[in-house]
Chain A
Amino acid sequence: MKIQPFANHEQALKFRALRNQVLASNIANADTPNYKARDVDFGDALKSAQSGQLSLRKTSDMHISSGNKNSAGVDIKYRVPTQPTLDGNTVQTDVEQAAFSENAVQYRASLSFLDGKIRGLRFAIRGSD
């Protein structure tokens, strides 16, 4: 029997960390002309995690790209803005803030799931808490 003690939660955590970083870049560049806001899709990450395909990681700019896959195995896509801006910036601070805090809560959720798993394992090993 193959034991998966953490049931893909570590992959979810990886994805949340990546999204945190992408959304942070968006908020940081809220006033940068011609910056295009980006985001990652949870569905893509889920598919990639389920298929179990390993993606190639580039460690140098000279490497041939195998798509834009990164450590979480997802493509970073550009956001379609709902309101146009004069300076070509597509960051909508309110949208990004909402996404950022949602993502932080999801990260915490993954953390507490993992915490429960670890507690369960420890209980199984020690026989007491």
Chain B
Amino acid sequence: MSLFKVFDVAGSAMNAQSVRMNVTASNLANAGSTSGDADKVYRARHPVFTSFGDALSEQTGVTGVRLDGVVESSAPLQQQYQPDHPDADADGNVYVSNVNSIDEMVNMMSASRSYQNNVEMINTTKDLLLQTLSLGR
């Protein structure tokens, strides 16, 4: 019964979206973190999604979502001159993480909406399957 595959597809998408939520939470938590070393400061992370299907997905249309990895943002760091800051380097510079809070809030909303979408999809498909099971009763 092909309807069962919807659970796999929606499950893979929910997994991907929850990773996205986790990454966003990490980014927001580290939004203001500082370091005296530009290489050690926290950089915003973003998940990369790809679609994947089995050998027959061209025929059956079943395509799930896979997390391809988490990449660090290459956006420039904020450099601030604060000689009295405990993290300041020898020149008195402090590097602040490149997390953009607005981007992250948007990501969080998008992830939660997508997650809800997938939950609804599972509910609808579950109803359809249960109705099919009670056919002719």
Asked whether A24 and B58 contact (CB < 8 A) given A30-B117, A97-B117, A114-B135, the answer is: no
Asked whether A28 and B125 contact (CB < 8 A) given A18-B60, A60-B55, the answer is: no
Chain A at the B interface: SS class: helix
Chain B at the A interface: SS class: helix
Query: Which residue among A32, A38, A70, A119 has the maximum number of chain B CB atoms within 10 Å of its CB?
Result: A32
Point out the residues of chain B lying under 8 angstroms from A76, CB to CB: 58-59, 61
The answer to whether B125 touches A29, judged by C-beta atoms less than 8 angstroms apart, is: no
B3 at the interface (CB under 8 A from A): yes
Interface residues of A in 6-25 (CB under 8 A from B): 13, 17-18, 20-22, 24-25
Point out the residues of chain A lying under 8 angstroms from B60, CB to CB: 18, 21, 70-71
How many chain B residues touch A (CB < 8 A): the figure is 41
The answer to whether B62 touches A21, judged by C-beta atoms less than 8 angstroms apart, is: yes
From A22, A32, A114, B65 is in contact (CB under 8 Å) with A32
CB-CB nearest in chain B for A96: B117
Bound complex: CA A29 to CA B58 (Å): 15
The answer to whether B3 touches A17, judged by C-beta atoms less than 8 angstroms apart, is: yes
Using an 8 Å CB-CB cutoff, how does the interface string of A47-85 with B read, 1 for contact, 0 for none?
000000000011111000000111100001000000000
Point out the residues of chain B lying under 8 angstroms from A58, CB to CB: 56, 59
